[in-house]
């Protein structure tokens, strides 16, 4: 009876540890998003000043100091309205994060034997929620291009959030996004920055050139070549519209950038999800090959060659089979690193190979144990995915043999 009580206490401690870890992550992530929201609320009343425009005018000596028109929104009231939308989407991100964390807690408490949280990152429900939160964060990023102040704030937030995401403050890890490692974040910032900083320069140069050409035309001193260029531009309505309404198109360009990368992330996430589960669900072929190699080397090591030539020593046969390149490819990563990728001394070969063979046998026993225990009928598709994932972890994620024993104990106790 004391052992049963001790076992229950272990489970209670583990459940408390899971809840504590996920709750800590929830507080940390939501705290970061709330901080960004507070910053945007504070800046709502301070976005009328055109900081970049003042700097641009001093650097280029431009006649048009206003870069504000190349940001989103047509005036202070419009920009404040867009910031309100940004705050709404921040609320959506916080809500989705809460749902994801509580879903993770429920899944982890239900399936105590799945230690690797990657299984639930790629759970369809959580994967969709994370994808929606990712797209919502891109909308917030785009809406922060309403002014120089909000742009500086969001860039500072991304930098701090990137640093924060590299710190493993609690395990298991949940999915991180809105960091500099995210290619969509970088591209949205780069292309929107081009709209804000490069297009004003082009627009200013075009306006200056138009004024100069117009002045020369009025004085009657324009050359035939300049007449030709003016007539060419005026004869192409599309070019004329672009030159005359370049600043008016900038807000539209920001949204086009957002739509393009939202489409990109949807397609890439679908591909990522399908690729992950295709890889996991195809692991059975590797497991079957691994078992067959083991049985083959065992059979060969025990067989006697019936010929006039002397038989090869047993350990030599084992070396031939265990050193086979195909076997190296399908051996679990931790076992390959432990035995097959180091030089064996002559006096340790027999002992090492014996232990190696014994561990292979135990690995095969673990593989054969999973499906009958977790999916005895073979008809539960969800349990089949869990079995495949545990085999996938065995070959790719486990770091040592102790993790196999731990996983088996957890399965037996559920």
pLDDT tens profile 319-344: 444 545 456 667 788 877 766 555 65
Residue 52 falls inside a structural domain = yes
> Which residues fall within 8 angstroms of residue 216, CB to CB, at 6 or more apart?
222, 226
Residue 276 falls inside a structural domain = no
One domain for residues 315 and 292: yes
For position 78, what pLDDT does the model report? 81
* Segments forming the whole domain that contains residue 390: 283-413
> Which residues fall within 8 angstroms of residue 360, CB to CB, at 6 or more apart?
294, 335
For position 5, what pLDDT does the model report? 53
88-92, 149-153, 234-238 — most confident range: 88-92
Which pLDDT band holds residue 2 (cuts at 50, 70, 90)? very low
Question: What is the rounded average pLDDT of the residues 164-177?
Answer: 69
One domain for residues 143 and 257: yes
One domain for residues 334 and 244: no
One domain for residues 140 and 46: yes
Of 357 and 386, more confident: 386
One domain for residues 321 and 370: yes
Q: Count the domains in the chain.
A: 2
Of 298 and 107, more confident: 107
Q: What angle do CA 284, 387, 356 make, to 5 degrees?
A: 65
Q: Using the predicted structure, report yes or no on whether residue 233 has a pLDDT greater than 90.
A: no
CA 71 to CA 144: how far, in whole Å?
9
For position 75, what pLDDT does the model report? 74
Q: Using the predicted structure, report yes or no on whether residue 409 has a pLDDT greater than 70.
A: yes
Tell me what the pLDDT averaged over the chain comes to. 76
For position 319, what pLDDT does the model report? 47
Question: What is the rounded average pLDDT of the residues 72-95?
Answer: 86
For position 306, what pLDDT does the model report? 42
Residue 247 falls inside a structural domain = yes
For position 358, what pLDDT does the model report? 81
Domain end point (choices 215, 239, 268):
268
Q: Using the predicted structure, report yes or no on whether residue 309 has a pLDDT greater than 50.
A: no
One domain for residues 332 and 196: no
One domain for residues 82 and 157: yes
One domain for residues 315 and 261: no
Which pLDDT band holds residue 359 (cuts at 50, 70, 90)? confident
One domain for residues 333 and 408: yes
Residue 278 falls inside a structural domain = no
Domain end point (choices 268, 293, 325):
268
Residue 273 falls inside a structural domain = no
One domain for residues 256 and 297: no
Domain end point (choices 217, 237, 268):
268
Which pLDDT band holds residue 285 (cuts at 50, 70, 90)? confident
pLDDT digits (tens, 9 = 90+) for 387-399: 999 999 999 888 8
One domain for residues 321 and 384: yes
pTM: 0.74
One domain for residues 72 and 45: yes
Residue 275 falls inside a structural domain = no
Q: How many CB atoms lie within 10 A of CB 225?
A: 8
């Amino acid at each position: 009876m004391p052992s049963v009580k001790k076992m229950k206490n272990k489970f209670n401690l583990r459940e408390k540890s899971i809840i504590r870890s996920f709750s800590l992550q929830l507080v940390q992530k939501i705290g970061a998003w709330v901080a960004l929201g507070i910053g945007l609320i504070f800046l709502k009343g301070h976005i009328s000043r055109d900081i970049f425009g003042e700097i641009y005018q001093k650097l280029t000596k431009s006649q048009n100091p206003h870069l504000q028109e190349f940001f989103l929104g047509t005036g202070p009231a419009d920009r404040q309205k867009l910031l309100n939308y940004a705050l709404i989407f921040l609320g959506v991100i916080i809500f989705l994060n809460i749902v994801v964390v509580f879903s993770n807690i429920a899944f982890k408490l239900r399936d105590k034997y799945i230690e690797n949280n990657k299984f639930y990152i790629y759970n369809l429900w959580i994967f969709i929620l994370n994808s929606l939160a990712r797209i919502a964060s891109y909308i917030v990023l785009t809406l922060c291009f309403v002014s120089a102040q909000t742009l500086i704030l969001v860039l500072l937030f991304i930098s701090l959030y990137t640093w924060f995401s590299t710190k493993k403050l609690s395990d298991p890890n949940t999915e991180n996004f809105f960091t500099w490692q995210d290619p969509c974040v970088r591209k949205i910032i780069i292309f929107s920055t081009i709209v804000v900083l490069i297009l004003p320069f082009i627009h200013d140069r075009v306006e200056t050139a138009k004024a100069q050409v117009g002045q020369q035309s009025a004085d009657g001193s324009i050359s035939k070549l300049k007449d030709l260029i003016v007539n060419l531009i005026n004869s192409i309505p599309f070019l004329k519209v672009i030159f005359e309404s370049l600043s008016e198109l900038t807000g539209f360009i920001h949204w086009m950038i957002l739509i393009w990368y939202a489409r990109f992330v949807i397609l890439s996430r679908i591909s990522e999800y399908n690729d992950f589960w295709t890889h996991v669900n195809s692991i059975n072929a590797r497991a079957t090959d691994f078992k067959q190699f083991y049985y083959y080397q065992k059979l060969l090591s025990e067989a006697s060659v019936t010929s006039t030539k002397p038989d090869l020593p047993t350990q030599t046969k084992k070396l031939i089979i265990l050193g086979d390149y195909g076997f190296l490819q399908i051996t679990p990563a931790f076992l390959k690193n432990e035995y097959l990728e180091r030089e064996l001394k002559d006096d340790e070969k027999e002992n090492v190979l014996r232990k190696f063979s014994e561990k292979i046998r135990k690995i095969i026993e673990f593989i054969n144990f999973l499906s009958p225990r977790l999916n005895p009928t073979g008809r539960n598709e969800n349990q089949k995915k869990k079995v495949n994932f545990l085999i996938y972890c065995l070959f790719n994620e486990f770091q040592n043999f102790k993790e196999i024993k731990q996983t088996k104990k957890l399965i037996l106790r559920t």
